Amino acid sequence: MRSLITMILLGCFAVMLCSEPTHVAGKDKDKAKDKEKDKDKKPAPLMPPVINPAIAKIDFTVTGLDGPGFAIAAGESGTIVVGCENGTLQAYKKEAVAAFRAGTAKPDVWKGHDGPVRVAVWTGGPTLVSAGADKKVNFWSLPDGKKAQTATVDFRVLAGAMSKDGKIFAVGGESESIQLFDVATGKPTAKLTDKMDWTLALAFSADGKQMLSGDYLGVVRLWDVGGKKIAELPAKPVPAPKTPPDPVSTTSVAFGPDGKTAFIGTADGPIQVVNLGDGKIARTLVGHTGPVTGMIFHPTGTLLATVSKDRTVKLWNPAAAPPLKSLDGHTAWIEGVAFIDENTKLATVSADQTIKIWDLAEPPKKK
């Protein structure tokens, strides 16, 4: 009997010994599979940078422009092109802009104008257009910077704009007309004419079907790109005042993100927001103390950046006032502004012969 019990116990013990390694082996296999899965896992992607005007600050300064900078353009490739007073355009490829931190980069210099370059516009396509006091309109191929076409107008150019799709370029200045060009061919198309003073500002609507123009006498016109004037903004008061105030020049214009408003920068600083439907002033953004020389909306539509002869950059909530942030650093008036680096930074160009890069985003975060 004892021997029988002993045999049974020994048998059970043997079964336990045999079954244990199988259980452990199963666990080891699971661990091995988990390790293989971990190997296949990619690092957590970085969250898109978050634009935060409250933390906006100077990132770095690019020096050495050939004279005051009058215009700035930037595209998706990261290249920045600046139009200068001496008739040249200076192109800074993305790598060159970054290398300025180390003081080792030099721009490519494009020559093609015989006077100050007042306009340099580019919407990220294969062509950049420049124009200036020499009455020339130059079409440059990118990224090589070769001059593809040259056209001429019969007036000194003071303003220009390109449609978002890069197909139409408009130019105005010391004339009663605005000339449109086909960007692909460099040929003139429609001409917008009216009894107007010098054109100081131009802008296209998002769909490229309408334009805004602002002139020296402060009149803003809404156009159909086919050549028809739709309205003058803001609507004139009725009845007209007995003693009209001195006109205040319109120095910059832009369509609002909703496509239903016009943002009008003036020579005395305030920015009027006008409803396109009825021509009435909806609100006024007060902050600049000098002519508003440029304005640009962030693609999200939640941020407006403006520059001025008061030497400041101002960041706004387009739906409210006062400005969210004022950025100082330029020592002369600012002429141009553009978003760069996936719209996380601002680039501004000034008569102080510098380009300043402003950081608008918080550091990237992992998911």
More confident residue, 241 or 92: 92
Q: Which residues pair with 271 in a beta bridge?
A: 265, 285
209 and 223 in contact (C-beta within 8 Å)?
no
161 sits in which H/E element: strand 157-162
Local confidence band at 15 (pLDDT 50, 70, 90 cut-offs) = very low
Domain boundaries, the chain: 53-359
Residue 317, CA distances (Å) to 7, 264, 305, 306, 322 in order: 87, 15, 9, 11, 8
Structure tokens at 209: 């079907």
Q: What percent of the chain has pLDDT over 70?
A: 79
Is the predicted pLDDT of residue 192 greater than 90, yes or no? yes
For residues 355 and 64, give the distance between their C-alpha atoms in angstroms, rounded to a whole number: 9
| pLDDT tens profile 115-154 | 999 999 998 889 999 999 999 999 999 888 999 999 999 9
**Mean pLDDT, rounded, for 265-293:** 97
Q: What's residue 240's pLDDT? A: 54
The lowest-confidence range among 121-135, 174-188, 243-257 is: 243-257
Tell whether omega for the bond before 291 is within 30 degrees of 0, i.e. cis. Answer: no
Q: What's residue 18's pLDDT? A: 45
For residues 105 and 147, give the distance between their C-alpha atoms in angstroms, rounded to a whole number: 23
**Mean pLDDT, rounded, for 336-358:** 94
Q: What is the C-alpha radius of gyration for the chain, rounded to an integer number of angstroms?
A: 30
**Mean pLDDT, rounded, for 78-99:** 86
The lowest-confidence range among 28-32, 214-218, 248-252 is: 28-32
Is the predicted pLDDT of residue 167 greater than 60, yes or no? yes
**Mean pLDDT, rounded, for 173-191:** 97
- Classified as helix, coil or strand, 279 is coil
CA geometry: angle 157, 162, 165, nearest 5 deg = 165
**Mean pLDDT, rounded, for 91-107:** 73
| pLDDT tens profile 35-85 | 555 555 555 555 556 789 999 999 989 888 888 999 999 976 678 999 999
**Mean pLDDT, rounded, for 310-330:** 95
Q: What's residue 188's pLDDT? A: 97
pTM metric for this prediction: 0.84
Residue 231, CA distances (Å) to 176, 267, 318 in order: 16, 21, 23
CA geometry: angle 319, 325, 327, nearest 5 deg = 135
Q: What's residue 299's pLDDT? A: 93
Could you tell me which residues come within 8 angstroms of residue 30 by beta carbon, excluding any fewer than 6 positions away?
none
Local confidence band at 360 (pLDDT 50, 70, 90 cut-offs) = very high
Nearest to 200 by CA among 146, 248, 244: 248
Q: What is the mean pLDDT of the chain?
A: 86
**Strands of the sheet with 261-266, listed across from one edge:** 250-255, 261-266, 271-275, 281-285
Q: Which residues pair with 46 in a beta bridge?
A: 366
Could you tell me which residues come within 8 angstroms of residue 273 by beta carbon, excluding any fewer than 6 positions away?
256, 261, 262, 263, 264, 281, 282, 283, 284, 285, 318
Q: What's residue 93's pLDDT? A: 82
Choose the CATH number for 53-359 among 2.130.10.10, 3.40.50.720, 1.10.10.350, 2.40.30.10.
Answer: 2.130.10.10
Local confidence band at 33 (pLDDT 50, 70, 90 cut-offs) = low
Could you tell me which residues come within 8 angstroms of residue 282 by beta carbon, excluding any fewer than 6 positions away?
261, 273, 274, 275
